[in-house]
Amino acid sequence: MRLQKIFWGVIVILAISIGLYPYSYLIFDMSRGLLGSKSEELLSSPYWNFAFYTHIYLGGLVLLIGWTQFVKRLREKKIWLHRTLGKIYILLVLLSGVAGLYISFYATGGVVTKIGFGTLALSWLITTITAYSFIRIKDIEKHQNWMIRSYALTFAAVTLRLWMPILPIAFQLEFIESYRIISWLCWVPNLVFAELLIQRNFFKY
Least distance (Å) from ligand HEM to the CB of residue 48? 9
The region, left, alpha or beta by phi > 0 then psi within -120 to 50, assigned to residue 110 is left
Least distance (Å) from ligand HEM to the CB of residue 128? 10
By CB under 6 A, residue 55 contacts ligand HEM: yes
| CA 118 – CA 107 distance, rounded (Å) | 9
* Phi, psi of 187, deg, nearest 5: -135, -30
Q: CA distances (Å), 58 to each of 91, 123, 139, 171, in order?
A: 10, 17, 28, 33
| CA 105 – CA 175 distance, rounded (Å) | 19
| CA 115 – CA 23 distance, rounded (Å) | 26
User: What binding mask, one character per residue, do residues 100-139 give for ligand HEM by CB under 6 A, x or -?
Assistant: x--xx-xxx--------x--xx--x---------------
* Residue nearer to ligand HEM on the CB measure, 91 or 140: 91
User: What binding mask, one character per residue, do residues 6-25 give for ligand HEM by CB under 6 A, x or -?
Assistant: ------------xx-xx---
Please choose, out of 7-15, 80-88, 98-106, 141-149, the segment that lies near ligand HEM by the rule CB under 6 A.
Answer: 98-106
Q: Is 57 exposed, middle or buried (0-12, 13-18, 19+ CB in 10 A)?
A: middle
Residues that bind ligand HEM (CB under 6 A): 18-19, 21-22, 33-34, 55-56, 59-60, 62-63, 100, 103-104, 106-108, 117, 120-121, 124, 153-154, 156-157
